[in-house]
Structure 1
């Protein structure tokens, strides 16, 4: 296969085509993570930019860019119901980088594309930290460094291998510092951890729930509590532990009722139970929430040491302060 001869092209066109190839390499792994429309729009815009560079034609007006930007913002909102969070943010960076290539009129625009490319390179590690991903991003890093060095080369048509050799030397000079920082720099979470999507809901307890703010649900496998029954445990269908009750809705967000706590004695007298009693002990993990998780129905306050529990109108047992340490309490419930 014979590579196309680019010697007849002006330097700006050759540099642009090389930069587009590097950007395509960076974006390619993300096509499995971003929506299909984002991949199609990015491919179309970059192909359009490549044709303009090949034919040495003028770039489109800013009205085209503003229109495409508005469409991409609207598509992102429709897809994710937000423009915040990891997935929506990566989608916007991908399309913004593609649109920015249609603005390559000055060196300042080129630098913006370079550094957007470096940032987008890092986002690949949000989804995969395999050796294959690391190798692919190392190639992308060398490509972006080569394009950056090439932009600083003197006028004329310097060979690309010369810029690549200089970029490789810069990468090798920085490698010892990278290794030193990797070994000695403290790995403080979440600085060294992968950020989760801020708009992705996680299974668990919350004092409110806003409609439309959850793009996806990530199951949280961490331990919430441990329960030890005296004798036989109730049937699986009866193991419903009452926690937060979100009974107030303003048209967008469900919240727990903010009314004052009634006296527990009155509610205990009104709550009628029957059938066999289940006695058990709960060891609750710290969750910075005030709720005591108990089976329905529990007319008597859980037995705690040094703390006092109250019953709310929704038959919840709560403390007057959040649970910030391991808490153990004994309960009698009537499932």
Structure 2
């Protein structure tokens, strides 16, 4: 890392390299501007450390934070959820290095980086991902051990040996937890922003995206008919209606609860009524699936129901249970 560099500069450069690796692993899951902004901040912080220049004041940091929030909202249409959250935490990790003046600030960066490592598992749990995270974990442990050696100028190799020994001592506990600890949500059950890979659950669809739809074998809902069920060819359930097209993407005219019931005056039904009970799995969407169209509102416990003028039934609150 440079034998002639002051210790503070050497340690800062090493930590920035580890953070750069953590951010690089998320490059395929974050928008392009996130990658550019993160890389720019880390390069800027590296230049400040090499030249011994003062860190930027709070107006610059607040301005970069505001740009990050606006860009995240424009990209994901929200500041919540998996994709928006990962985008924010990657940029915020880089921005935090701009106020790293003392050991206390460095510890905040350490543990924020540890938390950022967990977000990689939201997208992949492959062996390649685990190997990349292991490299980052050893790097962060080395930086953390080095920060607890304040006297003199201990070599990074010594801190790396101590970090490796700590990791080896913790490996048996990790193995036991991996085998015996239950995989509970919400850590591994966080719903994704992009539902295009799940058939029929997306509120929009771009041209060429149909090939990405995968018919899952997971249960969407269960139906219990009163009497004999209709023929297989009549089991069509009406859900999201995408009727607005801008030349490249289909969208629904309405995504939320209609302000009032919009039953078309010319809606006519015929034939004997089909009565059934539906038990839906949590879709986290305010959409009801009914057979064809019906002028009678479905009964949903503890939730109001209305129909849009496109014959789509909505609940007042998303179906989270």
The normalised TM-score by structure 2 is: 0.71
Separation (CA, whole Å) in 2 of partners of 1:140 and 1:195? 23
Once the two structures are superposed, residues 215-257 of structure 1 have per-residue CA deviations (whole angstroms, 9 ceiling, x without a partner) of xx99783343579544x836xxxx7545799xxxxx9863257
Separation (CA, whole Å) in 2 of partners of 1:86 and 1:225? 28
Q: 1:254 aligned to 2:289?
A: no
Alignment of 1:279-318 (within 5 A): 284-287=278-281, 293-296=290-293, 315-316=295-296, 318=298
Alignment of 1:91-170 (within 5 A): 91-170=87-166
The structure with the greater share of residues assigned to strand is: 1
Asked if the contact 1:94–1:120 (Cα under 8 Å) also holds between the matched residues in 2, the reply is yes
- CA RMSD in angstroms, aligned pairs only: 3.9
Task: Specify whether residues 67 and 295 from structure 1 end up closer, same or farther in structure 2 by C-alpha distance, changes over 3 A only.
Answer: closer
Asked if the contact 2:146–2:159 (Cα under 8 Å) also holds between the matched residues in 1, the reply is yes
Q: 1:233 aligned to 2:229?
A: no
Separation (CA, whole Å) in 1 of partners of 2:287 and 2:15? 55
Q: Mark the runs of 5 or more structure 1 residues left unpaired by the alignment.
A: 210-216, 246-250, 260-266, 297-313, 324-335
Q: CA deviation at 1:76?
A: 1.1
- Structure exhibiting the larger radius of gyration computed from Cα positions: 1
Separation (CA, whole Å) in 2 of partners of 1:77 and 1:50? 28
Task: Specify whether residues 295 and 30 from structure 1 end up closer, same or farther in structure 2 by C-alpha distance, changes over 3 A only.
Answer: same
Q: CA deviation at 1:173?
A: 1.2
The normalised TM-score by structure 1 is: 0.68
| Equivalenced residues, count | 271
Separation (CA, whole Å) in 2 of partners of 1:38 and 1:244? 32
Q: Mark the runs of 5 or more structure 2 residues left unpaired by the alignment.
A: 204-211, 242-252, 304-321
Separation (CA, whole Å) in 2 of partners of 1:48 and 1:244? 47
Asked if the contact 1:85–1:199 (Cα under 8 Å) also holds between the matched residues in 2, the reply is no
Separation (CA, whole Å) in 2 of partners of 1:86 and 1:53? 33
Alignment-derived partner of residue 3 in structure 2: 7
> Which segment drifts farther, 10-19 or 219-228?
219-228
Alignment-derived partner of residue 80 in structure 2: 84
Q: 1:32 aligned to 2:12?
A: no
Task: Specify whether residues 89 and 252 from structure 1 end up closer, same or farther in structure 2 by C-alpha distance, changes over 3 A only.
Answer: same
Task: Specify whether residues 81 and 219 from structure 1 end up closer, same or farther in structure 2 by C-alpha distance, changes over 3 A only.
Answer: farther
Once the two structures are superposed, residues 82-135 of structure 1 have per-residue CA deviations (whole angstroms, 9 ceiling, x without a partner) of 211111111111111111111111111100110111011111111111100001
Alignment-derived partner of residue 329 in structure 1: none
Q: CA deviation at 1:64?
A: 1.4
Once the two structures are superposed, residues 131-155 of structure 1 have per-residue CA deviations (whole angstroms, 9 ceiling, x without a partner) of 0000110110000000000011132
Task: Specify whether residues 278 and 72 from structure 1 end up closer, same or farther in structure 2 by C-alpha distance, changes over 3 A only.
Answer: same
